[in-house]
Each structure stands twice: as C-alpha cells, then as structure tokens.
C-alpha cells in the first residue's frame, strides 16, 4: 500500500459497480478449481451490480478506498442470522480485497474495522462462512483468530459445496 492512506467508510451507491467488479473477479480467481466453471463463467459484473443495487442498504456495508479506488469491502450484520449455530450475535457475510492487492494489509484493516464495529455494538460471538476448499482465505481467517465450529453444504448453481463457519469471540 506504500504511503497512501486507506479510508474505510460506508458504501455509497456510486461504489457499487467497483464492488461488483471485485466480487466477480474475486470469485473467478479464488474459486477456480473449487466451484464449477459453468457457474463461475455465468457471473457478470452487470448481474452482480443489479443485485447489489437491490440490497446494498440491508446490512452494514463498508468499503476500503485507496486513492479514489475501491480496493475491498465487507458486508456484515450486528445480529445473528443463523438458525443452526447457537450463541451467535453477529455475522460477517463477506470480506473481499481486489485479487491483485491481496497481502498488502487491506484485508486485515477491513477485518479489524468490522471487529471494532461488533465490539462497539456489544457483540460477543460472531461467525463467518467460507468455502472449505478456499485454503488461502481460510489461512487468513485462522490468522485473525477464527476457529471452525460448524460445517454445512451450500448450493451454488446446480451443485453443493462444503462451507465451514469460523467463530470469533469478541473481548
């Protein structure tokens, strides 16, 4: 990241196209060989943008900006959405960093910001799901202190894939 200042702020409507591009590029990069190619090839920035446009105000949604470019983001909720996992009071739905900018501290900055939001809200125990075979992301989540507590199958396209859920205890 050099000496540039990373700004973390709430998402704006005009950020959504860059966010959509990060999601699609991220999926096609991180999940190559994990998720079926037909599903990955069906992902488009336009479709993802339209989906974001319809729901970007539903949860907490922050972006990381560097020199006017959106370089990462996270969506999370300060409340539990899990019916299967007990004693959880918050959930991180996603943390993304532009693939070309990974390993520069952006993900750590986003994660730290989100965890501080949980702490300030009084949350005690949160979860984050990740495809089981996404070992690069899993290494990051474990480095940040997460422990796998649950596994389930999730459907993407016409296939099912194992997903693991990390638990973070907020002190």
Identify which of 134, 118, 136 has the alpha carbon closest to the alpha carbon of residue 126: 118
38-45, long-range: CB within 8 Å, 24+ apart, which pairs?
38/157, 39/156, 39/157, 39/158, 39/159, 42/157, 45/17, 45/20, 45/21
pLDDT tens digit sequence for 108-151: 999 999 999 999 999 999 999 999 999 999 999 999 999 999 99
The per-residue pLDDT for 1 is: 44
pLDDT in tens, the chain (171 residues): 445 799 999 999 999 999 999 999 999 999 999 999 999 999 999 999 999 998 888 889 999 999 999 999 999 998 877 777 788 999 999 999 998 999 899 999 999 999 999 999 999 999 999 999 999 999 999 999 999 999 999 999 889 999 999 999 998
The per-residue pLDDT for 84 is: 76
The per-residue pLDDT for 158 is: 84
The per-residue pLDDT for 57 is: 85
Given a contact cutoff of 8 angstroms between Cβ atoms, the answer to whether 92 and 114 are in contact is yes
The three state secondary structure string of the chain is CCCCCEEEEECCHHHHHHHHHHHHHHHHHHCECCECHHHHHHCCHHHHHHHHHHHCCCCEEEEEEECCEEEEEEEEECCCCCCCCCCCCEEEEEEEECHHHCCCCHHHHHHHHHHHHHHHHCCCEEEEEEECCCHHHHHHHHHCCCEEEEEEEEEECCEEEEEEEEEEECC
pTM, entire model: 0.91
Q: In whole angstroms, what is the distance from residue 85 CA to residue 117 CA?
A: 21
Q: In whole angstroms, what is the distance from residue 21 CA to residue 82 CA?
A: 28
């Amino acid at each position: 990241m050099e000496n540039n200042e990373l700004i973390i702020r709430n998402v704006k409507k005009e950020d959504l196209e860059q966010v959509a591009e990060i999601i699609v590029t991220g999926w096609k990069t991180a999940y190559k060989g994990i998720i079926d190619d037909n599903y990955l090839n069906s992902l488009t920035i336009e479709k993802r943008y339209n989906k974001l446009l319809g729901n970007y105000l539903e949860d907490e949604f922050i972006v990381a900006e560097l020199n006017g470019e959106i370089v990462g983001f996270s969506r999370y909720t300060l409340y539990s959405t899990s019916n299967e996992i007990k004693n959880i009071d918050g959930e991180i739905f996603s943390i993304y960093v532009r693939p070309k900018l990974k390993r520069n501290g952006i993900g750590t900055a986003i994660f730290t910001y989100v965890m501080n939001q949980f702490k300030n809200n009084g949350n005690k125990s949160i979860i984050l799901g990740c495809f089981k075979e996404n070992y690069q992301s899993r290494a990051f989540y474990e480095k940040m202190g997460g422990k796998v507590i649950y596994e389930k199958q999730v459907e993407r396209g016409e296939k099912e894939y194992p997903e693991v859920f990390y638990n973070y205890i907020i002190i």
